[in-house]
Amino acid sequence: MTDTKPLRADARRNRDALIAKARELFAEGCFDLRFDDFAKLAGVGTGTLYRHFPTREALAEAVYREELTAMCDRARELQATLPADEALESFLRGFVDHLHSHEGLARTLATLMATRSSALAEGAQALGQVVADLLAAAAKTGTIRDDVGAGAVMMTLHGISAAYDHPAYRTDADGVITLVLAGLRRHSGR
């Protein structure tokens, strides 16, 4: 749920404190924490918690939205500062790094998948757009093929995201990105 009116400064600080503490706790793997404890640990009242986030899922969605916004901003920054193929590779490898370092959030978001959260759908659309932009820029330079769309890459990223608890996750996820990049690269004679 997105509020249409801006928050007062103190309300914004409280909301930000809750999101920051939730991000930290999810990163530490605190999955079974009582929801009310988020308020205490963030230094705000329980009423404040429920006013901003009526459920654990709403809090997880807020963390997810901020993380996704940062990832999309990073993609645009890479596109503006690196050659197109390097920007694509850096983004895809950064995506794996991000998932690896935010495993707790991945676990929390797994519960959202079952609820068909609108935040996840919006996030997938935003992420798909930055991937499409990165692919188009690299294809335009001729460094990657132009016959593979963002949907294929997004399916790969979704698979990587779903396998966060696989024992060799990091190594295998890096290997998948290496395969994707090798498959995307334009080779002479194509």
pLDDT in tens, the chain (190 residues): 445 567 788 888 989 999 999 888 877 767 677 888 888 988 999 999 999 999 888 888 888 888 888 889 999 999 999 999 999 999 999 988 887 777 666 666 555 555 656 777 787 789 899 999 999 999 999 999 999 999 999 999 888 887 877 888 889 999 999 999 999 998 765 4
CB neighbourhood size of 137 (10 A):
17
The residue assigned the tokens 């920054």 is 77
**Per-residue pLDDT tens for 15-48?**
999 999 988 887 776 767 788 888 898 899 999 9
Q: How far is CA 154 from each of CA 12, 27, 93, 125, rounded to the nearest angstrom?
A: 33, 24, 14, 10
Domains along the sequence of the chain with CATH: 1-54 (1.10.10), 57-184 (1.10.357.10)
pTM of this prediction? Answer: 0.81
**Per-residue pLDDT tens for 103-122?**
666 666 555 555 656 777 78
CA 108 vs. chain centroid, Å, equals 12
Q: Which tokens is 21 given?
A: 């503490």
